[in-house]
Amino acid sequence: MVDVSAKDATVREAVAEAVVVLSAAAFDAVAGRNAPKGDVLAAARIAGIMAAKKTPDLIPLCHSIPLAKAVIEITPFPDRHALRIVASMRTKYETGVEMEALTAATVAALTIYDMTKAVDRGAVIESVRLLVKSGGRSGTYTAASK
């Protein structure tokens, strides 16, 4: 594990996204809140937040970070039968929260897959990426637009 004790504790934020593309039937089940396993969006939000908190248990050598904020937003794109997950994290600590944001977005996407697979085993998780990172010595990073 990298020694971060010489770094200043500063406010650090990260935002990551994942996109899940579903069949029309699976998308309609999610949107209509009648998927066989229940409320897909609520479960995905909770799973993402829980995953962010468990990131050091999942990623080797990742620091345990006190999260001040963990928010999962899911936006439907009916024209693509897709769901865009945006995971936003904040801390005041010696190292950043990029891994927490990426883990949260990914686990939320996996949860959507799990909860819709009875309707559509062909769902695709695509475009997991860091959108924004701020704080710390390296400053701000913003991903290029797609």
Active site residues: 114
Spatial contact of 29 and 35, defined as CB atoms under 8 Å apart: yes
CA–CA separation, 112 and 79 (whole Å): 18
- Find out whether 103 and 59 touch, Cβ atoms under 8 Å: yes
Among 137, 87, 135, smallest CA distance to 107 is for: 87
